[in-house]
């Protein structure tokens, strides 16, 4: 049975402490929570494709972490480009003193979900969570597109504001 994957801001993964419990390696976060699997999101800031691996570096605006995938890669993993926003589930691991994520699953993040994740990262930064407040990945809210479209094109255009980038305000 797999361990629960917890949604963790990257800032909390910068100072983890490895420890062993019942012969299994876990990582203790600065807030005292012990985790093995995590769900992390971030903007891809670096990508390396090796012969037998794919390495992404993610930045969620609180910190960065390397995510390494080994064959067989999850769907869409090879098509990820620098600048894409992704959500990754994987196991924490330590190698040569560096903590990284061994990726198990990858999902492209849409712009609305990215905004929600940024706000969530900001909330974690301003007020670090206690152990009971770290949500498991499986209970993370799912975002869906709005169910209703504007009744007319005019209605949609009324909400668009024009910004003069050449004006005195800039």
The CATH number for 118's domain is 2.40.50.140
Would residue 106 count as lying in a domain? yes
pLDDT tens per residue, range 47-103: 999 999 999 999 988 899 999 999 998 888 889 999 999 999 999 999 888 899 999
Within-domain flag for 66: yes
Q: Give a yes or no: residue 111 inside a domain.
A: yes
Q: Is the residue at 109 inside a domain? A: yes
Number of domains composing the chain: 1
Range of the domain at 147: 5-158
Other CB atoms within 10 A of residue 150 CB: 12
pLDDT tens across 128-143, in order?
A: 655 545 555 554 444 3
**Mean pLDDT, range 110-123, rounded to an integer:** 78
Q: Is position 74 within any domain? A: yes
Residue 69 in any domain: the answer is: yes
Domain for residue 44, yes or no? yes
Let me know if residue 86 belongs to a domain: yes
């Amino acid at each position: 049975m797999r361990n629960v994957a917890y949604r963790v801001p990257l800032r909390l993964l910068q100072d983890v402490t490895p420890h062993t419990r019942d012969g299994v390696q876990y990582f203790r976060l600065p807030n005292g929570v012990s985790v093995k699997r995590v769900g992390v999101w971030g903007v891809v800031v670096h990508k390396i494709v090796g012969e037998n691996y794919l390495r992404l570096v993610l930045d969620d605006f609180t910190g960065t972490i390397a995510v390494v995938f080994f064959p067989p890669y999850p769907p869409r993993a090879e098509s990820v480009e620098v600048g894409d926003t992704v959500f990754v589930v994987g196991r924490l691991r330590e190698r040569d003193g560096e903590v990284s994520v061994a990726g198990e699953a990858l999902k492209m993040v849409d712009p609305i979900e990215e905004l929600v994740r940024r706000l969530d990262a900001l909330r974690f930064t301003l007020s670090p969570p206690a152990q009971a407040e770290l949500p498991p990945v499986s209970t993370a809210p799912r975002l869906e597109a709005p169910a209703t479209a504007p009744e007319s094109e005019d209605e949609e255009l009324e909400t668009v504001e024009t910004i003069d980038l050449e004006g005195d305000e800039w």
